[in-house]
Amino acid sequence: MKIIIMGCGRVGAELAKMLDGEGHDVTVLDIDANAFRRLPRGFRGRALVGNGIDQDALRRAGIEGADAFVAVTQGDNRNVMAAQIARHIFQVPRVVSRIYDPIRAEIYADLGLETISPTKVGARLMREAIDRAGERAAQQAGG
Amino acid sequence: MYIIVIGGGKVGYYLTKQLIEDGHEVLVIEKSQAKVDRIAEDLGDVALRGDGCEVATLESAGLRRADMVIAVTGDDEDNLVSCQVAKSKFGVPRTVARINNPKNADIFKRLGIDMTVSATSVILNNIEQELPEHPLIPLLTLKGGGLELVEVKVPADAVVVGRKIQDVLLPQQSIIVLIVDAEGVPKVPTPDTVIHAQDELVAVTRTETEAALRAALTSPAAR
């Protein structure tokens, strides 16, 4: 797949590494060239300085032929806007965006975007971990 | 009308002030406490501190009964989200977004925003109206001033299209010295050469007859 990742933070870089390792054609977009230091040595994809809410920058990143677009910058609104441009203007078939605010994530999910709220996912994982830790403590007390 | 303004910077401030003067009920939502204080001091109790993209803030601003939301922060993406949330979550009938990148006008329209306003586009349009549509491009000043070498493109509707050079009335001391046709082929004009639309003419003219030369070569044919 040809995949564009917008935002080269920890999640963006990790995802880029993962997809590159699987043999996908990856382009990473960030407004700060400094962010590309997070990419692993030997990364075979492209790293491009540009703003993902600017359609010209998205074109330069090759969005017109992309199979997937992932928006993982620090800004919820930037992610939401870029994802909608990718989906509705450039008709990218698979679009995923990170939205920290769970309510906004829900609103845009209702509007047809594939959204991930790390806040919600993180809280749920923590909640499950509390139960697991409790079970373990009970076993140890019982055994 | 009940109008919510999102963003209390300079645009938001003066917009709010004017809307109040026009007799509307206005609430401006602004993140910075300093700006909220300034607005409250000047305009009264019309500012709410908060993030205009957050549902909780919008809820407490009474968005359900708002007739219009105008998002005028400096960030296009924030204005987009405020308007979309206002529309989809609160059913606000009319949303207006300020945009910085003029290319976002089309995108915002397709994403459901009722109206966009771009200062960049307004300024560009005004400049384009000020500039003549078919300008003479000065290429070179000859003989220490007085004579100039200029270039002009012949518009499709010009009266000179289809005429021979010898039949075109040019100002005194104006001479067409070179024609580059639409395909980019240069020709030295003779009295029999016919002028075509989209020809680029290079001419020598006196500074004071520039306007007359431009009129002679670009004026549309009378209908």
Structure confidence at residue B137 (pLDDT): 80
Among B6, B79, B101, B111, pick the best mutation site for testing chain A contact (most A Cβ within 10 A).
Answer: B111
A127's enclosing H/E stretch is: helix A118-142
Q: Do A61 and A4 contact (CB within 8 A), yes or no?
A: yes
CA distance B71 to chain A (A): 14
Q: In what order do the strands lie in the sheet with B175-180?
A: B137-142, B147-153, B200-206, B175-180, B186-187
Structure confidence at residue B53 (pLDDT): 96
pLDDT digits (tens, 9 = 90+) for B79-93: 999 999 999 999 999
Task: Confirm or reject contact between B51 and chain A (CB < 8 A).
Answer: no
Between CA A100 and CA A78 the distance in angstroms is 12
pLDDT mean over B32-42: 96
Joined together, the tokens standing for residue B148 give 């100039």
Percent of chain B with pLDDT over 90: 73
Residue numbers in chain A where pLDDT is lower than 50: none
pLDDT digits (tens, 9 = 90+) for B173-206: 899 999 999 898 999 999 999 999 999 999 999 9
Q: Do B57 and B78 contact (CB within 8 A), yes or no?
A: no
pTM: 0.74
Structure confidence at residue B138 (pLDDT): 79
Structure confidence at residue B55 (pLDDT): 95
Percent of chain B with pLDDT over 70: 95
A contact residues 39-98, partner B, Cβ 8 Å cutoff: 53-56, 75-78, 80-81, 84-85, 88-89
Q: Do B139 and B150 contact (CB within 8 A), yes or no?
A: yes
Identify the three-state secondary structure at position B147. Answer: strand
Between CA A27 and CA A24 the distance in angstroms is 10
By C-alpha distance, the chain A residue nearest B81 is A77
Among A51, A73, A77, A103, pick the best mutation site for testing chain B contact (most B Cβ within 10 A).
Answer: A77
- Residue B131: pLDDT over 80: no
Q: Which residue in B52, B15, B14 sits closest to B32, CA to CA?
A: B52
Structure confidence at residue B144 (pLDDT): 67
pLDDT digits (tens, 9 = 90+) for B21-32: 999 999 999 999
Structure confidence at residue B133 (pLDDT): 66
Joined together, the tokens standing for residue A89 give 């203007």
By C-alpha distance, the chain A residue nearest B85 is A107
Structure confidence at residue B223 (pLDDT): 57
From B77, B88, B110, residue closest to A81, measured CB to CB: B77
pLDDT mean over B56-60: 95
ipTM of the complex in this document: 0.89
pLDDT digits (tens, 9 = 90+) for A41-64: 999 999 999 999 999 999 999 999
- Cα angle value A78/B58/A88 (rounded, 5°): 35
CA distance A40 to chain B (A): 30
- Residue B129: pLDDT over 80: no
What confidence tier does B36 reach under pLDDT thresholds 50, 70, 90? Answer: very high
